[in-house]
Amino acid sequence: MRAIPVDTTRIRFIGTGKHAARAVYAELTDGTRRRVPDSQDKDDQGRPLWVVDVMVDDPDADRAEIAGVKVASYEVPETRLGDEVRFLGLVAVPYVAQGTGRVALSFRADGIDGAGKSKAAPAA
């Protein structure tokens, strides 16, 4: 399915401090999918995939939402509760949700701005 670029200048993402390894799912002979225990999904280049939970602060919405954004990284992506998170190359991918038949969105990003950079030591 087509990936649609997200205009991150109009929406802020606030860190929740939560992340998880993206699970691998196997399709069974009856067509259902089950999670493979103790496994982590990888991207095309072999990097582990993570799901980073963020609050979507959309000024045009009545309420905030929580979204999980898939990010490929050898290091665990860290966000801090309440801090703004800036995703690099953020896209939305529409899909049809199993069971409901409704269109839903999945988000993925190339990375997180500032991830992997060393933090300055706090002043004494």
Predicted confidence (pLDDT) per residue in 59-107, tens digit: 889 998 999 999 999 999 999 999 999 999 999 999 998 889 999 999 9
- Neighbouring residues of 43: CB distance < 8 A, sequence distance ≥ 6: 49, 72
Taking the whole predicted model, whether its pTM rises above 0.75 is answered as: yes
What is the signed CA dihedral for 67, 119, 74, 87, rounded to 10 degrees?
30
Structural domain spans, the chain:
4-112
Question: For the structural domain made of 4-112, what CATH number should be given?
Answer: 2.40.50
The pLDDT value recorded for residue 10 is 87
Residue 93 near residue 108, CB atoms below 8 Å: yes
pLDDT at residue 114 is higher than 90: no
Residues 106-120 have a mean pLDDT of 76
